[in-house]
Chains A and B, each alone.
Chain A
Amino acid sequence: MMEKLYGYAGQTLKVDLTKGKVIKEPLDRDLVKRFLGGRGLNGRLLFDLVGPDVDPMSPDNVLLIATGPVNGLLGLTTGRVDVTSLSPLTGIFGNSNAGTNFAPELKYAGYDNIVVVGRSKKPVYLLIEDDHVELRDASDLKGSGVFETTDVLKERHDDVKVAAVGRAAENGVLYGSVIFDYWDAAGRAGMGTVMASKNLKAIGVSGTGSIEVADPDRYYEVARDGWLALMNDFGFKTQEHSVLGTAVCVGWGNAQGWLPTRNFRESYFEDADKISGEEFRDRFSVKESPIPAGRACMSCPNRCKRYGVIRTGKYAGTRGNIEFEAIGAFGSKCGVGDFDAVFHANMIANDYGMDAVSCGNMIATFMEWREEGIIDDEFLDGLDLRFGNADAMVEAIHKIANREGKIGELGGLGSYLAAKAISEKAMYYTSNVKGMDSISCDPRAAKGFGFAYAVASRGSDHLRAHPVFEMIKLPPEIGKDLFGDPEAVDLRKYGGKPEMVAWHEELGAITDSIGSCRFMHASYYTQYPVPELIHKYFKLKGEVHSLKYHEWISAVTGWNISYEELLRIGKRIINVERAFNIRRGIRRKDDTLPERFFKDKVPRGPAKGEIYTRDTFNKMIDRYYEIRGWDPETGLIKRETLEDLELHDVLKILEKEGLVV
């Protein structure tokens, strides 16, 4: 008899939409031992299933949804789900992650992951009720919004957990999102667009099963220690993040001078206090503050989801969850200080099923293009799309989702492909790396974050590394201990940043692969060995508590993974994503930042005068490649790196295509 796979449900669900068939297979235990689950598992499957010639919108592309070994367990956040595919927005590795109840429910139903291939002739949705799995007709739901679709499925199938796509994705907007239970978006990289291209409107899941862990006594201790690490965290103790959610970053980012404003012209927004976390709490929150004021993903004491309702005015009745990135995208980037409009914009983007970050960025880019005379009123279909015009911004969202006029046609492509269709000059004003729009943090003002954008596997993005380390006031000794340079704790300095980004990327890959949340490892530094170092350098008394992923995973699975082995798994995950991108043509030249960050200084605010120095940046890339074991000339992965990580089959494929150094 085969050894029991603790922590996992044990089955993969394969859905072939072309044939209309669903197959259940045992979970590949060798694969999860090497890649854990979630993003790691999906990345590896994507590499195997999608070759370099596949078109993202073709039936040959696959949609991968995966949970990890801690999803659905008691512990420091266990609700995150990973969605991976070849991105239609960027043409490279694409994935997105959401905090849900969906992932645990899928495991209780008996499945660790879903592999969707092919394309259905007519719209369908996938219904999973424990052992019973079927594809159902969704013709009546075609074109309907995410909220309505979710309502219908919940009504029809007794409160199932729902993942749905909206009209924007169906209309071919390249940054369509998959939205879980109304508000939780796997927003980035167009995962919803891929799902819609397969004619898969939604997935509903309910499960009644159980998940067992290998060592329950040890598990309880490890989980409790992680929990107490959060309770003792400085940041958590202030309750700022809990009470204000990610929107705490509006005030914080503005004070530190990295809040992108009027596209990326500036990094300080004069109206930030009108769109702040405090303002949301006081104006829209329906629950009493300060506790709890928020809603939580599965098993999370941080509860950072902001739920609110607009009570008066023309957007009265709009309700839902908002996050910092959406506020940055529709707020400061568009120069809009009208919170009703920003909140409303985010909610209609959710209902249309579009990534709020890419959508807001696209509109902000249109605004700057107009000011720079790159596009005219005819292009804008009569919209007075200037910075600060909230009504025009909201109108632009409708036009993009419905692909109306030139603005809708190009707006649905994202700023990179839209700029490509317009002019070289237009490209200068986009904030993309590898075709992906940047989030709300100015690279010039936050050197580590900026560097992370350049090397992120899904294009400009903070959620590969998420090096909040440089934003919080930690003793320089910790920077020295962890990253070899005390400057690592300094937002404006370059020292130790490649090391810092690499470490965060590796642990972050683990977080995304086990099904936990990035905030516990970066934002809060509950993650071993940071609490230990804080304890040492702040000379704290009493016991140190920390969240030790290696012990957590070991207690769940019984595999006994060390901290070093954990980082190795992280490296393996990152290298598979790199290998996928290499096959898609990604090289050193693509690991860069948008030109403007090397050329234009931040004009005002706390980061006034800051710029990204190109020479320094190039040296950082050299250093990063050295850490990663990649070739400094080309950016290809070195043979010995793949051998060290036991990625022999990946090596074989790259070798055949002449893509190894």
Chain B
Amino acid sequence: MKKLVFNPDLCTGCRACELACSFINEGVFSPTKARIRVVKFDRDGIDVPTGCEHCEDAPCMIVCPVRSIYRDEDTQAVILDPDICIGCKRCMIACPFGAIGFDEDKKVFFKCDLCRGDPECVKWCFTRAVSYSTSLDVDTIKKVKIARKEAAAQARARDLR
């Protein structure tokens, strides 16, 4: 199953993901309405994309007293239904990632729903710091990367023998 994967190492801090998200979901450009957020550390030159991880054991889903948060069968996304939500904000407090937002204009809570399986943020992330991949992809890429380094070292060592 595909997941939204955030990689700070590839993030340039351009925040196109935030803008694409708020535009597709709310029709306006507003980082505070985006489901994804890039936290910038300008002095250190580090940018960290954050958002809903659609946890396997999702704390927000567990603490919701009215079951307004559920898992979508097709995409496996953790979804918040604003019509059921009573606005108690327990999910917001329980979420370890700050991935549940509150819309001050509409007075409802919101969160990422993976754009129904076609996340817009990914389409604008040129460096693939935000990607929609299977965990197998992520695993494999890392394994190959580290193996490549190891192979290069081995080859150098062999040439010295």
Contact = CB atoms under 8 A, between A and B. Distances in A.
Interface of A: 72-74, 101, 108, 147, 150-151, 181-183, 208-213, 216, 220, 227, 231, 286-288, 291-292, 294-301, 303, 307-309, 319-321
Contacts of A303: 12, 14, 127
A108 B104 CA distance: 14
Interface in B77-105: 104-105
19 contacts: A72-B19, A74-B19, A74-B124, A108-B32, A147-B43, A151-B43, A182-B43, A210-B28, A210-B30, A211-B30, A212-B28, A292-B127, A295-B12, A295-B13, A296-B13, A300-B14, A303-B127, A308-B45, A309-B45
Interface of B is mostly: loop
Contacts of B32: 108, 208-210
Given A287-B9, A292-B12, A299 B19 contact: yes
A295 B16 contact: no
Residue among B12, B31, B40 having the largest count of chain A Cβ atoms under 10 Å: B12
B52 to A, nearest CB: 20
A557 to B, nearest CB: 14
A216 B27 CA distance: 7
B112 interface: no
B86 to A, nearest CB: 24
Interface string B12-32: 111110011011001111111
A288 B9 CA distance: 7
Given A147-B43, A210-B30, A216-B23, 8 more contacts: A72-B19, A73-B19, A73-B29, A151-B43, A292-B10, A297-B14, A300-B14, A303-B14
B11 interface: yes
Q: Which 6 A-B pairs have the closest CB atoms?
A: A307-B45, A210-B30, A296-B14, A74-B19, A210-B28, A303-B12
A182 B149 CA distance: 35
B22 A210 contact: yes
A211 B42 contact: no
Residue among A181, A183, A211 having the largest count of chain B Cβ atoms under 10 Å: A211
A212 B23 CA distance: 9
Contacts of A101: 15, 40
B16 A286 contact: no
Contacts, number: 91
Contacts of B128: 291
B47 to A, nearest CB: 7
Contact of B30 (A151, A209, A319): A209
Contacts of B23: 74, 216, 220
A448 B45 CA distance: 36
A292 B27 CA distance: 29
Contact of A108 (B31, B45, B105, B129): B31
B127 A291 contact: yes
Nearest to A220: B23
Nearest to A309: B45
Nearest to B42: A181
Contact of B11 (A74, A227, A292, A301): A292
B104 A208 contact: yes
B36 to A, nearest CB: 13
Given A101-B40, A227-B124, A74 B16 contact: yes
Contacts of A182: 42-43
Residue among B9, B11, B45 having the largest count of chain A Cβ atoms under 10 Å: B45
Contacts of A300: 14, 16
A411 B44 CA distance: 31
B144 to A, nearest CB: 15
Nearest to A293: B12
Contacts of A307: 45
A108 B29 CA distance: 9
B47 A299 contact: no
A408 B16 CA distance: 44
Nearest to A72: B29
A291 B45 contact: no
Interface string B32-53: 1100000010111101000000
A280 to B, nearest CB: 13
A301 B126 contact: yes
Contacts of A210: 22, 26, 28-30, 32-33, 105
A74 B20 contact: yes
A209 B126 CA distance: 26
A323 to B, nearest CB: 14
Contacts of B42: 181-183
A287 B23 CA distance: 30
A298 B15 contact: yes
Contact of A296 (B12, B28, B105): B12
B116 to A, nearest CB: 17
B110 to A, nearest CB: 14
Contacts of A291: 10, 127-128
B14 to A, nearest CB: 4
A211 B28 contact: yes
A499 B137 CA distance: 52
B114 to A, nearest CB: 19
Residue among B26, B29, B104 having the largest count of chain A Cβ atoms under 10 Å: B29
B100 to A, nearest CB: 16
Contacts of A297: 14
A108 B34 CA distance: 13
A299 B28 contact: no
